[in-house]
Amino acid sequence: MKRSSTAKNGSKLKQDKKIVLALYRKMVLIREFEMKAKEIFHSGKMPGFIHIYVGEEAVAAGVCAQLHQDDYVASTHRGHGHALAKGVAPRDAMAELMGVVTGCSGGRGGTMHLYDPEVGFLGSNGVVPPGILIAAGAGLSAQLRGTSQVAVAFFGDGGSNNGAFHEGLNLAAAWDLPVVFVCENNFYATEMPFSETTKNTNVASRAKAYGIPGIQVDGNDVMAVYEKAGEAIQRAREGGGPTLIECVTYRWFGHHAGDPGVSYRTKEEVAEWKERDPIGKLRNDSIAARLATETDFQRIDEEIKDVIEESADFALASPLEADSTALDHVFYSPAE
């Protein structure tokens, strides 16, 4: 008896370790990707501007680890983390940020038009927050086709005050669509505190108005996000309808890479949230629980460093599309 329960425990621990390391790898991939993108942006080589996801990695990593490749994700303007977590290749994403021909959208979209249908990534978005409606549509499509696919919409606290929030949640609830709505509440929409534009700042509590479950999760605790997202995704997959998950988190840097992010936030507030680093938390918790070792994490850090260097080299060495193709994909051509 004792021996079999020990064996069972052992396999559970092995499974837990596998999950911990997979989540860690994804979070570090997102963190390093963003830091490299920021560096290239500030060097002046990257066109446009980018919104950095550092500090919020646990949300994308925890949710997407529960999804299948053919499930859908509709994302935001702060979408690099969602893209990487859903399986967009880092080099394809970095190249897209650079606007070069090897990017996942052929370099024609950039940071806010990352797109890769092969892995169910339905796009980052310049508009706030159409991902809610795109995911509702993808969920309706899955339901009509009779598949067990699930769609996830990511959006911010600011996005939750846009009309699309009501339309998307109401429709998904009315038709029991397989959609999970994930609000990344980082307390600010650009420089505007959520509390100054919103009477009820508990986004999860709004689910009640739509007759669906709503839960609030510590968005810097990747294991908690993973667990709660897993329950909601399974429910959606089994025909139980949508869920609203509010992940409370924080962006470390400004709204976009050119915003120092200090005029509307105190240094103390930023420092306090940096202390609650989602990557550090997983690392410390797992070591304390003897689920993984410092060496396990160091190995991943090294591995990701190489992946990111390679992605940046690839993106920086890739050419722009030829001028003569500027009108390609713009007008419908029956010959295509």
Ligand X SMILES: Cc1ncc(C[n+]2csc(CCOP(=O)(O)OP(=O)(O)O)c2C)c(N)n1
Query: What does residue 318 show for φ and ψ, rounded to 5 degrees?
Result: -80, 145
Q: Rule CB under 5 A: is residue 278 a binding residue for Mg ion?
A: no
Residue 225: partners with Cβ closer than 8 Å, 6 or more residues away: 58, 59, 61, 62, 63, 217, 218, 219, 247
Helices then strands, counting H and E runs in the chain, come out as: 12, 7
Residue with tokens 């690099």: 80
Please pick, from the candidates 25, 31, 36, 77, the single residue that binds ligand X as defined by CB under 6 A: 77
Residue 159 interface partner, choices ligand X, Mg ion, none, CB cut-off 5-8 Å depending on type: ligand X
Which residue, 91 or 251, has its beta carbon nearer to Mg ion?
Answer: 251
56 is a contact residue toward Mg ion (CB under 5 A): no
Question: Binding pattern to ligand X, positions 136-155, x when CB under 6 A?
Answer: -------------------x
In the complex, minimum distance from the CB of residue 251 to Mg ion, in angstroms, rounded to a whole number: 7
DSSP string, 213-238: -EEEEETT-HHHHHHHHHHHHHHHHT
Cα dist. 213→24, 99, 101, 228, 235 in Å?
A: 28, 40, 43, 11, 11
Q: Which amino acid is at 246?
A: E
Nearest CA-CA partner of 95 in 308, 311, 304: 311
Q: Could you tell me the maximum CA-CA distance found in the chain, to the nearest angstrom?
A: 73
Residue closer to Mg ion by CB (options 164, 173) is 164
Of 256-315, binders to ligand X (CB under 6 A) are none
- Binding mask of the shown chain, residues 127 to 166, with x at each position contacting Mg ion by CB under 5 A: -----------------------------xxx--------
- Binding residue for Mg ion, selected from 75, 76, 124, 186, defined by CB under 5 A: 186
* Angle value at C-alpha 187, between 116 and 227, nearest 5 degrees: 60
Is residue 195 close enough to count as binding ligand X by CB under 6 A? no
Residue 83 or 100 having the CB closest to ligand X? 83
**Which member of 156, 178, 214, 242 binds ligand X (CB under 6 A)?**
156
- Residue 247: CB minimum distance to ligand X, A: 11
Contact positions vs ligand X (CB under 6 A): 77-78, 126-129, 155-159, 184, 186, 188-190, 255
